[in-house]
Structure 1
Amino acid sequence: MKLLSVLSLVSLAVAAPPLVSPLATPPSSVRVLGVSLLGSGCPAGTADVQIDASKTLMEVTFSEYIIQTGPGTKAADWRKNCKLTINLAYDEGFQFATLATEMRGFAQIPKGSRGLCSNTFDFTGVPGQTVFSVSLVGEREGPFSLKADPDLVSWSPCGGTSNILNLNSQCNISPTQSQALIAVDRISGKITVNVSLDWRKCR
C-alpha cells in the first residue's frame, strides 16, 4: 500500500524520556528462560524480550506489528494482538511488579481517527491484572513515544526463583474507512514496549 511508503520518510527517532525509577534494589541475577508467542501481531520469530543490565527495564520488541485501515485493507489489518508468555528467573526471596510502560513506533493518523493500544500483564496462577492504555489521536505523522502508568499493580508470588509473566498487547485504529497506520519505526525496525520493573524482598 502507498501508506507504508511513508515509513521511508522517517529519519530521526523521538528521544524517549526515562520510565519511573524502581524503588527497591533488584536481585543480582534476572534472566529470560523462555518466551512463547501467540497472536496476529507476532508471527513466529518476530518478537523478542530482553532485560537490561540494571534488572529494572524489560524491552519487548515486535518487528511485524502493523495496523492499517482504509481502502484495500480488511478486518485482520484493523486490529492486531500478541500474547507473550515470559518465563523470568531471578534470585530467591524476591518478587516483582510492572511499574510503567512506554510504547514506541511510527504512526500516521489523520484528523478524526484514533489509534488505541493496551498492554495487560498478569502472572500465571495469580488473580489480578496490571493494565496500561495509550492512545494516538489524529492528526499526527511520525515516530511516537507514549508512556502509561498502570490502572492496577499486581505482584509476582513469593516462594520461588522464577515466575511466568503474561503480556497481552492489543492495538486498533478507528474508524476503519480512513487511511491510517501504526507500524514499526524505520530507524529501529520495530515497535518497542519498554516495561519498568519494581522489585521487593518477600516477607
Structure 2
Amino acid sequence: MRGAGNTAIAAVTAVSLCCGAWLLHSGAETHAPPQPSAAQARSDGPRRTGRPVPALPPSAPDRVRIPSIHVDAPLTGLALTASGSLDVPPAEKKNLAGWYEAGATPGETGTAIVAGHVDNADGPAVFYDLGALRKGSTVEVDRRDGRVAVFTVDAVEVYRARDFPDAKVYGAADRPELRVITCGGGFTKSTGYQGNVVVFAHLTGSR
C-alpha cells in the first residue's frame, strides 16, 4: 500500500543503480554517459514563477517520457531494500524505469521519485543520457487515471555517493515535484559509478 504522499524518505540512496558493467568491457573513456554541467545546477532553491498549477489526485504512474533525450519507458513499482536503499528495476530490462510506491505519485503534492539504470552489461539503458538534460526541459508521466502529468526541469545535478543530499532530493515538498535519478559522478573499475545524477522538476501542467 502506498504511504503518505508528502512524507520524506529517510536515509535512502540510489547507489545500487550503479554497477557500470558495460563500461568495464567497453572502456569508460569513450563510452561514459554525459554528466550535467555547473550551469544546470540550482544554487538558490526552486524559483516560483507563474501561477501555481493545481495538484492532481493520487494515481499510480505507468510510463515516463523525456522527449529531449528520447526517453519513452514503462514504469514499475519500487520499494526499499532491507538495508534501506531504494530498490531498482531488473538490470536486464534496459528500457524499464521504476517509481517509489510508498511516496507521492507523480502529479500529487509531494516529492515523487523515479529511478532507472544508466547502463547494463549490454550497453546504455533507459537513463543513459539523463546528465545531458537541461533546465526547462519537459518530463511527462502517464498515469493510470488517464491523465498525463507534465513537469518542467528546474535543475540537473550530480553528487558523489558520500555527499548525496538525502533531504534535498527526497524531502517533503509543498507542491507536486519530481526527482529522476540514475548513476553518474565518474566511474572507476574498482567501484563502478561513484555517485548519482538527479533531475529536479515541478508540475507545470496536465492533460
Bin for the TM-score computed over the shorter chain: 0.3 to 0.5
**By percentage of residues, which structure has more helix?**
2
- Between the two structures, name the one with larger relative contact order (CA 8 Å, sep ≥ 6): 1
In terms of Rg, which structure is larger? 1
TM-score by length of 1: 0.33
**By percentage of residues, which structure has more strand?**
1
